[in-house]
Amino acid sequence: MSKRTLIYGSYSLQYELLYQKRKTIKLTVEPDMTIVLACPLHATNEKIEAFMKKKWQWINTQLSFFGKYQKKVYRKEYQSGESFYYLGRQYQLVVKKSKEDKVSLSRGILLVETSLGKEYPEYTKKLLSIWFKERSQDIFRERFEEIFLKFGYKKDVHLRIASMKRKWGNCDGGIVTLNPRLIQSSKDCIDYVITHELCHIRYKNHNKNFFTFLDKMFPYWELVKEKLESRFL
């Protein structure tokens, strides 16, 4: 993958160029505003530049949309008083020394009881990471199995949980991968991402048939998608 800059009039933008064994050019603007162009191995520079200029207005529209939701990211210190999201609700972290390690939720509080005490934030982070991972596995599996039944697929489709920098979910063959950060979002957002990826089992690309199918399987998905991207990016 290489970085390219497209100059169009008085404007310029940077994008990532990826050559693949594919027949068509695919352009994607990610939620973090990264522009990725995947093109066939034989694509010429002239063809690539012409394609990007043709898509200029669409790119600006996407950048404007995602730009509304860009937020400053603050590094967590894992100290009492910080806030964390879980299933769409915001919780205040309370770290308390205890004889045993335990994480629990109660009335807007995310309580971490730690045998090392609050003077060891890295250990608090470790306890929270384990808890979030366990909850992700349980909830994602429960939602996936329920939604999968609605599709009536005859083939096996497996669920995988793995960190992804730019995506909430991915579908590759018979494997649906979910980003563990989805556990921060509400259940309707989790259901939307699972449904979206399961639609890719039938339609690989984001064509008209794909979105018609998505409309059928998850009406009003646009509203849920916007909520997911505006609150939990």
Q: Say which amino acid occupies 204.
A: K
How many angstroms separate the CA atoms of 140 and 190, rounded? 8
Number of helical H runs and strand E runs in the chain? 6, 11
Q: What are phi and psi of 172, to 5 degrees?
A: -130, 105
Residues of the chain with pLDDT under 50: none
Give the span between the Cα atoms of 232 and 184, in whole angstroms. 7
**Region 83-231: CATH code:** 3.30.2010.10
| 32 and 166 Cβ atoms separated by less than 8 Å | yes
What is the Cα–Cα distance from 137 to 153, expressed in whole angstroms? 22
Supply the pLDDT for residue 202: 93
Beta-bridge partner residues of 161 = 178
pLDDT digits (tens, 9 = 90+) for 149-205: 999 999 899 999 998 877 899 998 889 999 999 999 999 999 999 999 999 999 988
C-beta atoms surrounding 27 within 10 Å: 17
Inter-residue contact 201 to 217 (CB < 8 Å) = no
Q: Tell me if residue 18 falls in helix, strand or coil.
A: strand
With b for 16 or more beta-carbon neighbours within 10 A and e for fewer, the 59-79 pattern comes to beebeeebeeeeeeeeeeebe
Enumerate residues 6+ apart whose C-beta is below 8 A from 85: 91, 184, 185, 232
Percent of the chain predicted with pLDDT > 90: 53
Give the domain ranges of the chain.
2-67, 83-231
Note the pLDDT of residue 72.
53
Mean pLDDT, the chain, integer:
89
